[in-house]
Structure 1
């Protein structure tokens, strides 16, 4: 067991994770003697991993990535209310007594780059969200909490409908087949003055090693903001096509850094320095 305090990120696969670079940068900036690692954990090995770490007093906790965000929940001692509402955990914190508590920092992490937009008053807010996995759960919960009407697209519209009904049962949301967005449309959008429109890829489509995301930007209202949670590659085809169509974009690193901020505070007891995010981005992009 380690004598130096440490946290880590777990997943299957995990080699693509940029979290060690983010947390390592902040630890160095603050002069904290601690480590942040990546650990490959399979679904079958998840319970044994937690059992071994629970006994390690130097282990502060872990970030959780695919495919464990929901599978890990029954193995924990407590679930934070936000994570319970979302139905997914992306951060596990070990208490001094060895108790493990699950949190969800994906929600505030996703919303962080949208804060200037959300601070404005809008006549209407709508988001087209692609994907029905763990990241989508956090995004649906976060956007519904800020008054967005959601159009959730997935390969299985019934699953999308069930997800909307679970996370925001009182909302007037819509579930559609992902294929709907693949073909061009000549739909005449109404006046979007005073409206807020988002198009969010919350799926793995377009990620390195995954199938491409086919989205025709004629489906996006004028003035929409495109947001992709994929971080490898950082500049996805989805974002490239959005810019070519004249839309503003947010890449997946914005959410990754945002959620890491909250997780870092859980692990190491203080918020990370954010004044050098531009340099952090350059380091990650060059890694």
Structure 2
């Protein structure tokens, strides 16, 4: 891209008006004094390929992709990182100078960085982990926990067969627990992660027994509306260490911003305030 063009980036989804990413990237651009814009792009699935082909010509250097495009972009991208291929989804696209599209997944990075910032002495290898859910976010979390050294990862999902597929795919350290029995797995967990939308505003609560949560367990809910879900409130009451989902949203955005705009933004209390 020629030096006199202002770099453009954005978030592509359908719908996308609810996304907080434009606020986040806009804040970082202003804070760092960088030229650039980051905009919401509502793109229907049938238009995805055409729109992606046009964006680099309009000055775009990359985009984040969210629901429902995270899997579909893997078929369109010219380069897919090992991490994105393993997870089966991408959330960060970079348009390279030669016109090729590079697809990556930074969700696992965001998940781990959020835990490390929120709980500085957290270690994946400290004990078993429990992951609730088996969708795209669960896949990113499972790969991150496995690669960070979790000795055992229990997956519980409403549809058991989806959890079993993840275990076959991601190896011997994974095991499946029935959704109705997830409370038992939680009892021996060092880390618990909710990757479902249950507990989100407008959704039913997580229907899992939480009375066996142990003091000191790190409990991370990827839901961030509301910021304190019922899961996190009960975790705090039981002496666990609650970690909300807003930090993952922020940390997963860092690698893309750095690639597109050429500077690494800092994640601090002021960044969180901007999104709240």
TM-score (norm 2): 0.89
Contact 2:198–2:204 (Cα < 8 Å) also in 1: yes
From 193, 207, 210, give the equivalent of 1:214: 207
Q: What is the aligned partner in structure 2 of residue 279 from structure 1?
A: 270
Q: What are the Cα deviations for residues 73-107 of structure 1, in whole angstroms up to 9, with x where unaligned?
A: 10111101221222211100001122100011111
Q: CA deviation at 1:176?
A: 2.5
Superposed CA offset, 1:172-222 (max 9, x none): 3211332333xx66x9967xxxxx711101112222333332232124333
Residue 113 of structure 2: aligned partner: 112
Number of aligned residues:
269
Query: Take 2:187 and 2:130, find their aligned partners in 1: how far apart are those partners?
Result: 14
**Partner of residue 160, structure 1:** 163
- For the residue of structure 2 that corresponds to 1:117, the secondary structure is coil
Distance in 2 separating the partners of 1:153 and 1:141: 16
Contact kept? 1:217, 1:245, Cα under 8 Å: no
Helix, strand or coil: the match of 1:218? coil
Worse overlay, 250-259 or 199-208: 199-208
Alignment partner, residue 180 of structure 1? 181
Partner of 1:51: 53
Q: Which has the higher helix share?
A: 2
Unaligned runs of 5+ in 2: none
What is the rounded CA distance, in whole Å, between the counterparts of 1:174 and 1:51 in structure 2? 41
Q: CA deviation at 1:112?
A: 0.6
Q: Which residue number in structure 2 is paired with residue 87 of structure 1?
A: 88
Q: Verify the 8 A CA contact 1:199 1:224 in the aligned structure 2.
A: yes
Task: For residue 119 of structure 1, report the CA deviation from its aligned partner.
Answer: 5.3
Match of 1:136 in 2: 138
